[in-house]
């Protein structure tokens, strides 16, 4: 989906770093508890430093559900995260995304119409119960579909727990949009390729197998995490003897298999932060976070698994200038870039999100 960001006034692009920092801090002070700034770990340093709370997708949805006293939530992240905050926040809260162009390509890989067609095929072919589970990296209407069809959302932090419970209950799963998170999590739970089926959105002649697969995987992916390859793992192992390779489960299964550890953004942070001085880490996730981990852990060696930067350009769209512009407007009583989800969609999407939060 394309969300158009109007150009912001020229003055915001020419202000000095110091001036912008001062103005942002002053406005934060003035607005006090009326304002909360949430930031995902993949945000630039120049932006994340202003976040009242930072987190991965799970933590940020929990924070949005708890931040009831704030009138404004300024979300430094991508569009689906701001939508989630609007769904989980209270009715009178306003959620603001400083740059409307910050979408997530993976979320846009699952469109409601395609999901309805896939669901129709699955439910007309099989006599077993399927549960639609969508990664939170999805649009509000996909979350709403899951809420309306007995399903729920998940994040990379809680996908293992949620999938384990669903399989224990003897149910089958349609997992979307991220093929890799679905496959890696299912494999961790002991499933094999024979238990899985790869749905292909653009294949109109696709035939489901006769026996119901334990999990049907949508064919979405994160272009940032796809840039790590098994060759990168071989390379860092030869360059840094004793290195620990840790990757996000949005990476391919071949990369996950060759790594030492894999897990959500929060898991990666905890592992690297808790590691002994002198340890060496090659990290397979977004570069802003990897660089921050390196800076915050000077007694360890922390490098990107891919030396050629894996930057999420969408997360990176939120700049200090856009943040100041949004806050300046708020200060003058004007709400710009408000993210609102239609009430009927929000109601069903909240069911899916609440089910996840209960199981987390």
Using CB under 6 A as the criterion, which residues of the chain lie in contact with ligand SF4 when the complex forms? Answer: 42, 78, 104-106, 137, 222-224, 286, 312, 314-315
**Which 3-state string (H, E, C) describes the chain?**
CCCCCCCCCCHHHHCCHHHHHHHHHHHHHHHHHHEEEEEECCCCHHHHCCCCEEECHHHHHHHHHHCCCCCEEEEECCHHHHHHHHHHCCCCCEEECCCCCCCCCCHHHCCHHHHHHHHHHHHHHCCCCEEEEEECCCCHHHHHHHHHCCCEEECCCCHHHHHHHHHHCCCEEEEECEHHHHHHHHHHCCCCHHHEEECCCCCCCCCCCCCCCCEEECCECCCCHHHCCHHHHHHHHHHCCCCEEEECCCCCHHHHHHCCEECCHHHHHHHHHHCCCCCEEEEECCHHHHHHHHHHCCCCEEEECCCCCCCCCCHHHCCHHHHHHHHHHHHCCCCCCECCCCHHHHHHHHHHHHHHHHHC
- Closest to ligand 13P by CB, 89 or 284: 284
Q: Pick one of ligand 13P, ligand SF4, none as the site partner of residue 314 (Cβ within 5 to 8 A by kind).
A: ligand SF4
Choose the one of ligand SF4, ligand 13P, none that binds residue 99, judging by a C-beta under 5 to 8 angstroms depending on kind.
none
Give the interface with ligand 13P as residue ranges (CB under 6 A): 56-57, 104, 137, 155-157, 222, 250, 264-265
Q: Which one of ligand SF4, ligand 13P, none is in contact with 264 (Cβ closer than 5 to 8 A by kind)? A: ligand 13P
Are the C-beta atoms of 106 and 158 separated by less than 8 Å?
no
Closest separation between CB of residue 352 and ligand SF4, Å? 18
CB of 139 to ligand SF4, least distance (A): 12
Q: C-beta of 135: minimal distance to ligand SF4 in Å?
A: 8
Smaller CB separation from ligand SF4, 130 or 155? 155
Q: Tell me how far, at minimum, the Cβ of 305 lies from ligand 13P, in Å.
A: 15
Is the CB of 285 or the CB of 321 nearer to ligand SF4? 285
- The residue among 157 and 184 lying less far from ligand 13P, judged by its C-beta, is 157
**Minimum distance from residue 205 beta carbon to ligand SF4 (Å):** 29
d(CA 34, CA 14): 28
Distance of closest approach, residue 228 Cβ to ligand 13P, in angstroms: 13
For residue 302, which phi and psi values (nearest 5 degrees)? -125, 120
- Cβ closest to ligand SF4, residue 99 vs residue 286: 286
Whole-number minimum distance, CB 155 to ligand 13P, in Å?
A: 4
Find, among 123, 234, 220, the residue nearest to 175 by Cα.
Answer: 220
Cβ closest to ligand 13P, residue 41 vs residue 232: 41
Cα separation values, 137 from 33, 57, 188, 286, Å: 28, 9, 21, 15
105's contact among ligand SF4, ligand 13P, none, with CB below 5 to 8 A by partner kind, is ligand SF4
Task: In angstroms, give the least distance from the CB of 78 to ligand SF4.
Answer: 5
Nearer to ligand SF4, 105 or 249 (CB): 105
56 binds, among ligand SF4, ligand 13P, none (CB under 5 to 8 A by kind): ligand 13P
Q: Residue 86 touches which of ligand SF4, ligand 13P, none (CB < 5 to 8 A by kind)?
A: none
* Nearer of residues 106 and 173 to ligand SF4, judged by Cβ: 106
d(CA 81, CA 58): 10
The item of ligand 13P, ligand SF4, none sharing an interface with residue 37, based on CB under 5 to 8 Å by kind, is none
Residue number with CB closer to ligand 13P (106 or 166): 106
Closest separation between CB of residue 102 and ligand SF4, Å?
A: 8
Tracing tokens 């949430």 back to the chain, one arrives at: 38
């Amino acid at each position: 989906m394309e969300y158009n960001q109007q150009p912001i006034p020229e003055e915001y692009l020419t202000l000095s770093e110091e001036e912008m920092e001062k103005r942002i801090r002053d406005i934060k002070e003035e607005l006090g508890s009326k304002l909360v700034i949430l930031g995902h770990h993949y945000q630039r340093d120049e932006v994340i430093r202003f976040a009242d709370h930072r987190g991965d997708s799970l933590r940020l949805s929990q924070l949005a559900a708890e931040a009831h006293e704030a009138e404004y939530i300024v979300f430094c992240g991508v569009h689906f995260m701001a939508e989630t905050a609007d769904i989980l926040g209270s009715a009178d809260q306003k959620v603001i995304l400083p740059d409307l162009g910050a979408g997530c390509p993976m979320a846009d890989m699952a469109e409601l119409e395609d999901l309805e067609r896939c669901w129709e095929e699955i439910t007309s072919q099989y006599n077993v119960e399927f549960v639609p589970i969508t990664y939170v990296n999805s649009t509000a209407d996909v979350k709403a579909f899951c809420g309306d069809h007995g399903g729920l959302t998940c994040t990379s932090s809680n996908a293992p727990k949620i999938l384990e419970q669903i399989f224990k209950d003897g149910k089958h799963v349609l997992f979307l949009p991220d093929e890799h998170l679905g496959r890696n999590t299912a494999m961790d739970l002991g499933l094999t390729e024979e238990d899985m089926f790869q749905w292909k959105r653009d294949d109109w002649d696709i035939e489901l197998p006769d026996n119901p697969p334990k999990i049907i995987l949508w064919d979405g992916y994160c272009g940032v995490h796809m840039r790590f390859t098994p060759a990168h793992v071989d390379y860092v192992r030869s360059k840094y003897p004793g290195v620990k390779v840790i990757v996000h489960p949005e990476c391919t299964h071949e990369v996950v298999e060759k790594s030492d550890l894999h897990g959500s953004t929060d898991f990666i942070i905890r592992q690297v932060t808790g590691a002994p001085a002198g340890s060496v880490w090659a990290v397979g996730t977004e570069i802003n976070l990897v660089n921050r981990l390196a800076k915050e852990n000077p007694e360890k060696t922390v490098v990107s698994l891919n030396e050629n930067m894996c930057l999420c350009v969408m997360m990176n769209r939120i700049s200090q200038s856009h943040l100041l512009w949004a806050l300046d407007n708020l200060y003058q009583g004007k709400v710009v870039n408000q993210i609102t989800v239609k009430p009927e969609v929000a109601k069903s999407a909240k069911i899916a999100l609440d089910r996840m939060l209960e199981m987390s």
